[in-house]
Structure 1
Amino acid sequence: MKKVILVTGASTGLGFATAKILAAEGHTVYGTSRDIKRIKDAPFKPLQMDITDDASVNTAIAQIIKNDGQIDVVVNNAGNGIVAPLYATPVDEAKRQFEVNFFGMVRVNSAVLPGMIERKSGMIVQISSLGGLFGLPYQGMYCASKFAVEGYSESLRMELLYTGVKVAVVNPGDFKTSFTDNREKLPFSLSHEKLQKDFDAAVACMGRDEQNGSHPDVVAKKISKIISKANPAHNYLVGALGQTIVPTLKAILPGKMFAKLMNGHYGIK
């Protein structure tokens, strides 16, 4: 059954791949960007939307409803990343991270869900991260924003349980996208040679892991399968086995051992 689908953050990476594949399957797909000029050669319908702005979100949603009458699926993909020591991250920077990764998603859902509830059908697909299931050194604010997505989605699923609207969360690992280049690295403001070295090592490891990751089409194809399900699972972990097994390791290992394991991977010793 063909659907009307909204994919946020569709100018590059996972969002572009998802919108492209869903459109190729015959769905009516709107892919958003705050700067529509960034969406080039799109096989889907580009749509201007700044998820940090209420008016922009509401205008874009209204345009889709005017064109197609309804929205069947929302893929909340838009997001960004900040790397910095948590003890040296200004509150304004933390707010900015949450404004995109969490509150942007809340705005979109709040604009779309009343219509889905009224029709007693629809699906919200939240693009979280494996970093929403366990912490990562020097990506603490990013992880915190994704942990928030997890808690929000779990509660939302409970609230919508008897409405016909489904909620699924996708937790990707590292994939080769422009996310690496777009990640913002805040200055290391503390005068501490050892911690500065740890920070630099961790940031370098993040980039290597992502650039050695799989093509974003892997996630896009998983999302395609999810939206075809009448009863999707709560969470879908997508990525290399060495990454998707980490939540299990977190559950069975002592906390100190798990922290050492993660630090070791990022070159922190």
Structure 2
Amino acid sequence: MGKVILVTGASSGIGLACATALQSKGHTVYGSARNLNRLQSVSFKPIELDVTDDASVKKAIAAIIQAEGKLDVLVNNAGNGVAGPAYTMSVENAKKQFEVNFFGVVRMCTAVLPGMIERKQGTIINIGSLAGLFGLPYQSMYSASKYAIEGYSQSLRMELRNTGVKVVVINPGDFKTGFTESREKTAFGIANPQLETEYKAAVASMEKDESIGQSPDVLAAKLCKIVDTANPAHRYLIGAFGQTIAPTLKRILPGSLFEKLMNDHYGIK
């Protein structure tokens, strides 16, 4: 039987691929965006929703419940990226990153969980990142916001153990999407040619990795299987093997060696 599913950030990239794939499997899928003009000619049901706005979230959830009577699965996918030196990052830019990537997740979960708990069933799927399992140079706030999702999801899972509600985290590697072009890059900010060169090298490396990344359809296909699984795993690492092996390397290698390997990859010698 098809489920009622909400995918946030469904106007492009991973969100669009996931919402489209889930709809094709016979589910009733709502895909959200802040601007409905970005959800034209989609196969799923478009809904206006801004994860940074309490009133917008409550309005969208109420509309889905009124129309469908329930919400079975929430896929917290909406997110953005801020790249820049951690050593000059303003609190304002840090807050901008967390407002969408972390507090948006909290806001969505708080809106849907009372209903799921009452029905004693439901699934929360939080799209984290491999960057939530190890820090990335010059993506400090992005990594921090994804690390926050890890702690929040684990606590949530423990609290909901006896409710019938499941909590899953997906940690994607690099996928080829519009995320690269939409990433905000903060100004370098200090006079240090060596560090500035390393900053540019790291940004170039991350953009190259994304440009040759897998299609988001790969992640969407996996998500469809997760949604249909009665007892999904707590975590799924999805991406190229060279990236998904990194958490294992972090666990078994000395910290200094792991960080050297990461720095080498990002052009920080």
TM-score, normalized by the shorter chain, greater than 0.5: yes
Letter in 2 for 1:151: G
- How far has the Cα of 1:35 moved from its partner? 1.0
| Structure 1 match to 2:207 | 207
| Structure 2 match to 1:141 | 141
Deviations 1:222-266 (A, max 9, x none): 111111111111110000000000000000111111111000001
CA distance in 2, matches of 1:191, 1:56: 43
Note the 1:249-260 alignment, pairs <5 A.
Answer: 249-260=249-260
| Structure 2 match to 1:28 | 28
Letter in 1 for 2:70: Q
CA distance in 1, matches of 2:81, 2:232: 28
Letter in 2 for 1:51: V
Letter in 1 for 2:104: G
Deviations 1:177-234 (A, max 9, x none): 0000000011100110000000000000111000100100011111111111111111
Give the unaligned 5+ runs of structure 2. Answer: none
CA distance in 2, matches of 1:219, 1:106: 23
CA distance in 2, matches of 1:134, 1:224: 27
Deviations 1:106-151 (A, max 9, x none): 1111000000000000000000000000000000100000000000
- How far has the Cα of 1:40 moved from its partner? 2.6
Give the unaligned 5+ runs of structure 1. Answer: none
Letter in 2 for 1:134: F
CA distance in 2, matches of 1:166, 1:42: 28
| Structure 1 match to 2:150 | 150
Deviations 1:29-58 (A, max 9, x none): 000001111113210001000000000000
1:218 aligns with 2:206: no
CA distance in 2, matches of 1:194, 1:103: 35
SS for the counterpart of 1:126 is strand
CA distance in 2, matches of 1:240, 1:175: 9
1:266 aligns with 2:262: no
Note the 1:170-209 alignment, pairs <5 A.
Answer: 170-209=170-209
| Structure 2 match to 1:167 | 167
1:61 aligns with 2:79: no
CA distance in 2, matches of 1:164, 1:222: 22
**How well do the aligned residues superpose, as a CA RMSD in angstroms?**
0.5
CA distance in 1, matches of 2:42, 2:153: 29
Q: Percent identity?
A: 62
CA distance in 1, matches of 2:39, 2:144: 29
| Structure 1 match to 2:129 | 129
Show structure 1 runs of 4+ deviating over 3 A.
none
SS for the counterpart of 1:158 is helix
- How far has the Cα of 1:75 moved from its partner? 0.3
Note the 1:83-122 alignment, pairs <5 A.
Answer: 83-122=83-122
Letter in 2 for 1:124: I
SS for the counterpart of 2:102 is helix
| Structure 2 match to 1:16 | 16
- How far has the Cα of 1:82 moved from its partner? 0.3
CA distance in 2, matches of 1:143, 1:117: 30
TM-score normalized by the length of structure 1: 0.99
Letter in 1 for 2:199: F
Letter in 1 for 2:149: V
CA distance in 1, matches of 2:137, 2:36: 34
CA distance in 1, matches of 2:84, 2:35: 26
CA distance in 1, matches of 2:41, 2:238: 27
Greater shift after overlay, 5-14 or 36-45?
Answer: 36-45
CA distance in 2, matches of 1:8, 1:105: 10
